[in-house]
Every structure is written in structure tokens, then in C-alpha cells.
Amino acid sequence: MKKLVLMLVLLLTFSLAVGAVAPQTGGELSVGLDADPPMLDPHMSTARVDRQVFMSLYDTLVELDSNLNIVPGLVKNWQVKNDGEEYVFELREDVLFHDGTKFNAEAVKFNFERMLDPEFASPRKSDLDLIKEIEVLDEYWIRIILSEPYVPFLATLADRAGMMVSPTAVEKYGADFANQPVGTGPFKFVEREIQDHITLKKNENYWQEGLPYLDKVVYRPFPDGNVRVINFASGDLDFIDELPPKDVEKIKNQADLNLNMASGLGYQGIWINKAKAPFANDKLTQALNLALNREAIVNVVFGETAYVANSPFPPGTVMHDENRESVKADPAKAKELLKSAGQASGYEFNLMVAPDPTAKQTAQLIQSMASQVGIKINIELLEFGTLVDRLMSKNYQAALLGWSGRVDADGNTFRFFHSEGSMNQSSYTNPEVDQILEQTRKVADTAERKALYKQMMTHLDQELPYIFVYHPKEIKAYKDHVHDFVAYPDGLIRLEKVWVTDSE
């Protein structure tokens, strides 16, 4: 009997040893992105693809876990006081920026003041503009006083507004900081060649002991999804973001490849410039909206990789309204609207589109559907960075582009649809919507907040600063020699705990 027990113990010990493989240090990872990141300064960034690189370069004051709960980051602990108008943060004492300078309360104050400076014109300003006072209590304690309660504040600090850049590097490089980025993240900037690669190396002084495992990460842009997949399959890439929908089954069925697909937080559709003809007239925008068959677009282009959209809130998120109906295509009503707007024969406009095959296919379907009611769309293919620049400068009529989404609904709405939002690229102004969005920032109760967003949608449905088309799922693919990648619903690639084995 004793021999049998001993044998079972040995077998169990062997099984555990085989199953629990310790991470290996060293090696490099090549990551294929869907575009060349336009901006490596988080305080000036507006593109999702930038954030994929930011997750390696920068840390945030607070972080998200894989269930999107807010957990400590560069901030160890926090206290919320005075009915949500005061936040006291205790910072980690063992953190250095990549240039060797200390991360401390003065650095946090510098970062907040940088983003709030009107002359700097940061897209983060509207995330932080309720900050009334920043008080350094000592080297590692800081107090933030808000002008009024701001429920999404911590969620905001888990994103780009909470990414800390080196004050020393900002002062040294000035406007060129984006080309010499310095953060506290697990990897340090090495070099960049536009439209070819961004190379990072291991941060040997990273505050999370033992991390990262990788020695080097190379990000390579492939705007054409087909080319991205070819490079992945051939072995030139270890990991790819934004897998084209048509390749999902092929990757699923290949033994040495891994596919991860999860519901996301974002939305895709058409930005409408309300300050320019023809879209200053709401009826003309409504006609375009009713010309679109969203179900057909999702079925033809995306299949299982997307949902039909009817708001900024995807299925599965807290503010998603299960009872809200999606817009159904109604060509007859679209033609009536055109007639009542004095444009019975239709109208014409330019639609900016990134040169990705999936985006082009989506744009062509929209173009065909609109033509059925007399609306002529001229597709304008632009490099992604150029498209974003045109969008932010409001030098456009319409653009097929979306938003990657945020854990709090405020991040999907306020910056775009408030008249003073830092990314109000639709030139949209509605005092009632402003009031509603300001109120949602003060309300903690989920049901009350949801009712407010429902009111907001009654205005957006009529004025259409944005036409919601679909919600993409987050899709990642990687080789078998890539280990311990954890997919988050926000779709961001976190690499500090990823390790690789020999791919040969």
C-alpha cells in the first residue's frame, strides 16, 4: 500500500512538473500592426494603433485587469474624498523613467499640467479638464481636487491620460519628444523607421521584478490585411493584430497558430462633418443613414467577427441598451427625405477611407447602397496617418473610421459629442447633449446613467454626427512559440509577461 501511495505521489509530482513550464527570458517578438502608429506621444495621440505600442512604452497611474476592473499601477493606493471631488494618490517609490530620472509626485503634476495646457492642445484635455487643483503632498503623495464629481476619473487614468512621460525628456526634446519617447514601461524605445518598423528593447530597471521576459519587440506596420497575414503565415511575424475576417477560419484550422476572438469595446462607422455641405442639413445625413443595410454589411464583410451597431455602446458593455432597435434600411424613406430637403436627385460627397482591404470592401458596399437612393460617394483612399490628420483638422466631409472603445462609457461619448470635446471632429454642437454628457460624469448609479445616455441617443439619432455601422470583435493571432499572452476586451496587446521559445 505504501508503495502504491509513493508511486501516485511521484506521478502527480511529475505531472505538475511537466504542466508548469517556467517562463524563459530572452528572445524577441515581431508584431504586425494594421497601420504605422502616427504618434508616439500619448498626450497627443488619437489613433488606436498608437496604443498598441504605448502598452510597452508607458505605464498608467492605474491599470485594468483582464476583467476590466481598475487595479493599482504606478499608483499603489488611492482615496476618494469629498463626494468624489478629491483623490489622494500614493505612488510607487521604486519606479524610474527610461532615462533614469525618478517617477514621483512632481512628475505626475508635470504630466497633468502638460495635458491641461491650452497651448499644448492635447486631445487628453477634455478627459482632465475638471481638475481644479494639483497639490504635491510629498515626494510620493499627490492630491487632485476636481471642480465637481467625475465618476469616470479612475477609468480615464487607466488610459492615455494616465500614461506618464518623462518630464526631463519632454524638456530636452520639446516638440520632437514623439520621436524620442521616454516612459516607465517594460520596454524602451530604440529606433523607428517610418512605415517600416518600431524597435523597443527590454527595460532592465522595470519596477515589476523579473519582467519583462522578452529582450526585444519589433512592431511592423502592414496596412493591407492580406499582406499582414502572408507575413504571419510565412514566419516573418510572430503575432498579428486585426486579423482580416476572411482569414479567421484559415487560422483556426492551422495547428501551429493560435486565434483569440473576443467582444470589444469600440464601434465603427462614418464620421460626419456637420460644418460642411451636404451634412449641415440633417435630412441629408438621415437619408444616408437609411440607405445603409447594416445586417448585409456585417454578413458580407465580417461574418462572426462583428455585430450590427446602433450606438456607441457594444453588446456586453454596461451601457448597452438591449431594447434599442438597430436602424433598418429604408430606401423609400431615404428618397422622401432627399426630396423634402430639396435634393430629390440626390447629392455627392467624398468619403475618406484607409487603404485596408476590409475597409475598402466596407466602403464599396456603403457606396453601392447609397447609390440606390441617388447619393454618390467618392471613395478617397488615404494613408492612415494622413486620414487621422485630416479628420482632426476637420478637413473632410465624411470618414469611414471608428473608435477602439473605453471601459467607461464616457470614453466613448464625451470627447466626441460634447461641443467642447477634445475630439469633436464632427463640429457637433447641441446644448442639450452637452448638459446630458456633463450629468453622466456626476452620476454613479448605473440605471440613472443609462437613462441619460438613452436621452443622448434621441438627439444623435436625429442629428447624426456619427453613423454607427458595426461593432468589431477583437481578434489576435500568434504562433505556438508565443506563450502567456492574455487577451483583454479592450484589444490592447500587453507584452510584459509574454515569453517565447525557439520557433525553429
- Measured CA to CA in angstroms, residue 336 lies from 231, 451, 468 at distances of 49, 32, 22
Please report, for the chain, the start and end positions of each structural domain, with discontinuous segments joined by +: 59-177, 185-260+477-500, 268-472
CATH number of the 268-472 domain: 3.10.105.10
What pLDDT shows up at residue 103? 98
Same topology, domains 185-260+477-500 and 268-472? Answer is no
Q: Which of 90, 89, 80, 45 is nearest to 150 (CA)?
A: 80
CA distance 215 to 95: 20
DSSP codes joined into one string, 59-84: -BSEEE-TT--EEESSEEEEEEEGGG
- pTM listed for this prediction: 0.88
Report residue 63 CA to chain centroid gap.
Answer: 14
**216: its cell numbers:** 526585444
CATH superfamily of 185-260+477-500: Periplasmic binding protein-like II (3.40.190.10)
Is residue 147 within 8 Å of residue 80, measured between CB atoms?
no
- Residue-wise pLDDT for 373-425, tens only, equals 999 999 999 999 999 999 999 999 999 999 999 999 999 999 999 999 999 99
What pLDDT shows up at residue 20? 59
**364: its cell numbers:** 464599396
**198: its cell numbers:** 518600431
CA dihedral sign of residues 83, 412, 474, 394: negative
- Residue-wise pLDDT for 319-328, tens only, equals 999 999 999 9
CATH number of the 59-177 domain: 3.90.76.10
Three-state secondary structure of 285-339: HHHHHHHCCHHHHHHHHHHHHEEECCCCCCCCCCCCCCCCCCCCCCHHHHHHHHH
Rounded average pLDDT per 10-residue block, the chain, 504 residues: 44 44 95 96 96 98 95 98 96 98 98 97 94 98 97 97 98 97 98 98 97 98 94 94 91 90 94 97 98 98 96 96 96 98 97 95 98 98 95 97 95 96 96 98 96 98 98 96 94 97 73
What pLDDT shows up at residue 497? 98
**157: its cell numbers:** 487614468
